[in-house]
Amino acid sequence: MGWMADETGLEKRTANFVPLTPLSHLQRAKEVFPNKTAVIYGDTSFNYVEYHARVSRLASALKARGVAPGDVVAAILPNIPAMVEAHFAVPATGAVLNTINIRLDVATVAYIFDHGGAKVVLVDSGFIGLAEAAIEAMEGEAPTIIEVPDAVAGVGASGNYTLYEDVVAEGDPNAPWHMPEDEWESLALNYTSGTTGRPKGVVYHHRGAYLMTMGTVISWRMVLHPVFLAIVPLFHCNGWNHSWMMPVLGGTVVCCRDITPSAIYDAIADHGVSHFGGAPIVLNMIVNAPEETRRSFDHTVEVFTAGAPPAAATLAAIEELGFNITQVYGLTETYGHVTECVWDSTWDTLPQAEKAAIKAQQGVPFPMMEGIDVVTSTGESIPRDGTATGEIVIRGNSVMKGYLKNPEATEEAFEGGHFHSGDIALRHPNGYVQIADRAKDIIISGGENVSSVEVEGALMHHPAVSLCAVVAKPDDKWGEVPCAFVELKPGQTVEPADLIAFARERLAGFKTPKRVEFMELPKTSTGKIQKFELRKVAADL
């Protein structure tokens, strides 16, 4: 130990310590993979030299417009090249990227603009109306809109704002990037789905995203030049950080604006897509695709799926079509996936039903995570018996810095030295974690989190509603959808369709109940609604 006490001359230097950042990946790829295709969308593609130049142009143009380190630049964009480029260009100015869910309602977008303090927002022409209405509803200073038309999708410009390509053209392809001096600097701002009240702003750091990109390469068993189909929305945990990852391997991002069976099969057959991530709804879409949309391919496509586990029948059907499915698990607060169902080859000979049951498990930590446990309310590890349940707690490099402007929620989330997920799980004898229930009654619909509390709050505004409870109803297409059980006030009547329409006026479409049932709600002796009873009813509807 004596030599460790005397570290004279062994300090950090520029030669031996560089802050970790995903920006380094694209800087390297420009030199190592200059002619490899980096981005594809429709008939347009960029190699790594062109991709790097466009990112540099955008970054320098944003800087010329006053974007400075620490500022927030928002984006309301589907998975198109501008969104991929923004993932590098915004942090290359030292600013923080705030990608906003394109399915949100006006009031929530306005809140995010105000709370995050966006200085500029990149907006797809198809969502200009949403951005304008949100700005109108803001309390603070409005962000400057840069409009992004999409010729591939036939979405034309409104003619009212500066266009994205004009901004890119203004920039310098050789402009230097602002690299972080500290890897703890903020990289991205992502908002939760608002499980209780307003959504919380989750802040990512450069270090966590960098290690996320490295851990994913290992866990997905990736080699040079993968072709990744961007199905997971880039506004959702930054597409699980995959755009930041692809330059590591000289890979290709194939942009996908509208997720359809034909778009997926065409991308696999035409571009050789080797990897993509998606919610179980995407798997169902592939399995149930019309015969005329299917295309043949001769390689195995690796798929990460997250959210409600896919049904055993879906897993069996999709793997016969040439897809290998790996269940992963994570949250906005963990940059996306942090556990994976690592497959043991000794399971290959098991019956299909047993294999599907294992594949539905959330599994074990990714390499960049320090530890994931399931604990009791007093913080003790639960038995690994496949029966006892507790809360999933997480510790590792790919955990958020905290919640923006919300120190109380941050301290609560990090109590005891771990991040508390709020998700209830059991643990199998081999250590694999499996979610048993969702705390706070989260519904996962098409990969998007829906707060039952928020939906209930919207329905309770209706003058005929006395009480309501919203639970998840299994759905072949979306995995789960909101189902509302309603007690009406004495003497009041209302049609289910009218209540659904009432909710749709106040909520994003994916949060709106898909079914309404009228009944006296089951309650405990203290008046608490017994949602577990309602889940049983919903499962049989």
pLDDT one-digit tens code per residue, 135-144: 999 999 999 9
Tokens at 99, concatenated? 């990608």
**Band of residue 195 on the pLDDT scale cut at 50, 70, 90:** very low
Q: What is the pLDDT of residue 194?
A: 52
Q: What is the pLDDT of residue 252?
A: 98
Q: What is the pLDDT of residue 156?
A: 97
What is the average pLDDT across 7-31? 94
| Residue given tokens 């074990």 in the structure block | 364
CATH code for the structural domain at 447-540: 3.30.300.30
Q: What is the pLDDT of residue 66?
A: 98
Burial environment of residue 136 by CB neighbours within 10 A (0 to 12, 13 to 18, 19 or more): exposed
Q: CA–CA separation, 529 vs 45, rounded Å?
A: 54
User: Would you say residue 223 has pLDDT above 50?
Assistant: yes
What three-state secondary structure class fits 4?
Answer: helix
Q: What is the pLDDT of residue 3?
A: 55
User: Would you say residue 526 has pLDDT above 60?
Assistant: no
Q: Which of 84, 74, 69 is nearest to 186 (CA)?
A: 69
Burial environment of residue 17 by CB neighbours within 10 A (0 to 12, 13 to 18, 19 or more): exposed
Residue type, 215: G
Tokens at 268, concatenated? 């696999």
User: Would you say residue 439 has pLDDT above 70?
Assistant: no
Give 34-64 as a DSSP string. TTSEEEEETTEEEEHHHHHHHHHHHHHHHHH
Is the CB of residue 108 less than 8 Å from the CB of residue 199? Answer: yes
Sequence spans of domains, the chain: 23-368, 447-540
Go through 96-115 and write b for each residue having 16 or more CB atoms within 10 A of its CB, e for each that does not.
bbbbbbbbbbbebbbbbbbb
Q: CA–CA separation, 372 vs 483, rounded Å?
A: 32
Q: CA–CA separation, 189 vs 180, rounded Å?
A: 16
- What H or E segment, with its residue span, contains residue 320? helix 312-320
Share of the chain above pLDDT 70, in %: 95
| Residue given tokens 């200073």 in the structure block | 141
Q: Which of 194, 509, 437 is nearest to 332 (CA)?
A: 194
Q: How many Cβ atoms are within 10 Å of 144's Cβ, its own excluded?
A: 15
Q: CA–CA separation, 337 vs 330, rounded Å?
A: 4
User: Would you say residue 196 has pLDDT above 50?
Assistant: no
What is the average pLDDT across 175-186? 98
Could you give the C-alpha distances from 511 to 109, 193, 482, 508, in angstroms and in order? 15, 10, 7, 5
**Band of residue 438 on the pLDDT scale cut at 50, 70, 90:** low
Q: What is the pLDDT of residue 1?
A: 47
- Across all residues in the chain, what is the average pLDDT? 92
Q: CA–CA separation, 400 vs 334, rounded Å?
A: 6
Q: What is the pLDDT of residue 452?
A: 78
Tokens at 78, concatenated? 């589907």
Is the CB of residue 122 less than 8 Å from the CB of residue 86? Answer: yes
Could you tell me if residue 422 is left (phi over 0), alpha (psi between -120 and 50 degrees) or otherwise beta?
Answer: left
Q: What is the pLDDT of residue 442?
A: 73
Q: CA–CA separation, 381 vs 430, rounded Å?
A: 14
| Same fold? 23-368, 447-540 | no
Residues 6+ apart with CB under 8 A from 3: none
Question: Measured in Å, how far apart are the chain's first and last C-alpha atoms?
Answer: 68
Percentages of the chain per state (helix, strand, coil), in multiples of 5: 35, 25, 40
Could you tell me if residue 527 is left (phi over 0), alpha (psi between -120 and 50 degrees) or otherwise beta?
Answer: left
pLDDT tens digit sequence for 24-62? 999 999 999 999 999 999 999 999 999 999 999 999 999
Q: Tell me the H-state helices in 68-157.
A: 81-89, 106-116, 128-137
Q: Which residues pair with 72 in a beta bridge?
A: 96, 118
More confident residue, 443 or 339: 339
User: Would you say residue 447 has pLDDT above 90?
Assistant: no
Share of the chain above pLDDT 90, in %: 75
What is the average pLDDT across 354-381? 93
- Write down the CATH superfamily of domain 23-368: ANL, N-terminal domain (3.40.50.12780)
Q: Which of 388, 359, 365 is nearest to 375 (CA)?
A: 388
Task: Give the rounded distance of the alpha carbon of 329 from its chain centre.
Answer: 11
